[in-house]
Every structure is written in structure tokens, then in C-alpha cells.
Amino acid sequence: MIDRDNKLWLQLWRERRIDFHQSAVNQLLARFWPSLNLARGSRVFVPLCGKSLDMIWLAEQGYEVVGVELSPLAVQAFFLENRLKPSRRRVGKFTLWKHGRISILCGDYFSLTEGDLGNIDTVYDRAALTALPEDIRRHYVAHLRLITPKSSEVFLLTIEDAEEKETLKQAFGVGEEIRTLYSSGFEIDLAYVESVFEVDPDWPDQLPVRAEYKVYRLASKSVS
């Protein structure tokens, strides 16, 4: 089993050090998801979902949402804070929490099987990839390919550093890591880039650095 620093992740939730959690639905999701033209009732997989409110939004659009999350505290908080009363049962190595169109498998992503997950139409990845250590990300992508149908698309939101020395073409293009991780299995469409200057909250005295918020649509190369 691949360890994505599970102990640290669980500790962050125990100590409520969850600054990464967004207190509102991601604006890029709401803006660009409709362009997928995904039929209502389609099943959307949200890896490393935490207690993301994006799952609520997706369910409200008529989709069946399936998340996977390591921390039981995160899963419990999701349903409690949204005033939902889920059912619970064991599914393989996971505890399945379910209410309406939303299901969350509580356990280790790398233990997830295709049978646990069931058929998936689209993957929604907001910060799941970037939450992992760099040396684990290729394993994350490989496992994603293993447990989802080859026909599944990936709707990927990333935040990428943009060095001032880069040319405009380089800065606003497909990130090198994204190309390395996904190009063998997917056609990569960079749908949108938003460049902003941000101050690192851990280093407030430092100058702002430029970050790029990107929307990628990844279509499997195995589908004609």
C-alpha cells in the first residue's frame, strides 16, 4: 500500500488545521462544469474529497456523487455541517456513508478498487492531486486509471506557481507536471487560466507571488 503521509492527514483533521478547506463552492467549478454537457444522473467521482461543498453543488445539479476520504472526522463533519443524516455500511475496506445522491467511501484511496467504486462517468479533482507529495502523484494518477473506466473524463482544477522569468507562452501553457503525469493516457485541454498575485499566509512579510488557477479537461486517448 502506498502511504500518502496518512498520519499527517489524519492529524490535520484532528487538530482542525484545515485552511485548505474552501467555505464556498469553487467558482471555477460552477463556471466551467456546465461545458461538459454531462447528463443528469451521471456518476461523478471526487477523490480525496474532505468535506468539500462542491459535492453538494454537484448533487444539486442532478449528479450521483461518489467521494473517497481517509479521515472519518472529515466525513462526519461533511454530513453534520450540511444537516444530512447518512446511512453507513461496510464496503470492502471502506465505510460507505450515503445520503441521497451523495456517497462517501471512508478509507485509503490507494485501497480503492474498481468494484468498490462502481461505474464512473467523470472525475472531479480539485486539489486532490496537489494535496499529495510530489513523489506520490504519479501513483495517484496510475491508480485513478486503474479504478475508473477508460472512457471517464477528468475535470481537473490546479493552482500552479508561475515564475516571473517564464515567457508568457510558457506561463499560461499546460504545466509540465500535468503533461508528464497525464499525457500518456489523456488528451489535455487547458480550458482556462487565471493569473493572480498572492501572499503566502505562512510568510506574510514576503512579496506576493504569482499563481495560476487552471481548469483542465482530460479525455482518455483510448476513446475514439
pLDDT digits (tens, 9 = 90+) for 136-178: 899 999 999 999 998 999 999 988 776 544 544 445 567 888 9
Q: Is residue 207 scored above 50 in pLDDT?
A: yes
Question: What are phi and psi for residue 164, nearest 5 degrees?
Answer: -60, -25
Give the whole-number percent of the chain exceeding pLDDT 90.
60
Q: Is residue 94 scored above 80 in pLDDT?
A: yes
CATH for the 6-17+25-220 domain, from 3.20.20.70, 3.40.50.150, 3.40.50.300, 2.30.30.90: 3.40.50.150
Question: How many CB atoms within 10 Å of residue 50?
Answer: 27
How high is the pLDDT of residue 57?
Answer: 97
How high is the pLDDT of residue 190?
Answer: 94
Based on the number of CB atoms within 10 Å of its own CB, is 24 exposed (0-12), middle (13-18) or buried (19 or more)? Answer: exposed
Map out the domains of the chain as residue ranges: 6-17+25-220
Residue 13 CA to its chain's centroid (Å):
17
What is the identity of the amino acid at 210?
R
pTM: 0.84
How high is the pLDDT of residue 15?
Answer: 52
Cell output for 18: 484545515
Give strand pairing partners of 95: 90, 106
How high is the pLDDT of residue 169?
Answer: 45
How high is the pLDDT of residue 165?
Answer: 40
Half-sphere exposure for 179 (CA within 13 Å, toward CB): 5
Q: What whole-number distance in Å separates Cα of residue 165 and Cα of residue 172?
A: 13
- 61, 73 Cβ separation under 8 angstroms: no
Question: How many CB atoms within 10 Å of residue 26?
Answer: 19
Q: What is the dihedral of CA 18, 24, 25, 30, to 10 degrees?
A: -140
- 188, 182 Cβ separation under 8 angstroms: yes
How high is the pLDDT of residue 176?
Answer: 85
End-to-end CA distance of the chain: 34
Q: What is the CA radius of gyration of the chain?
A: 17
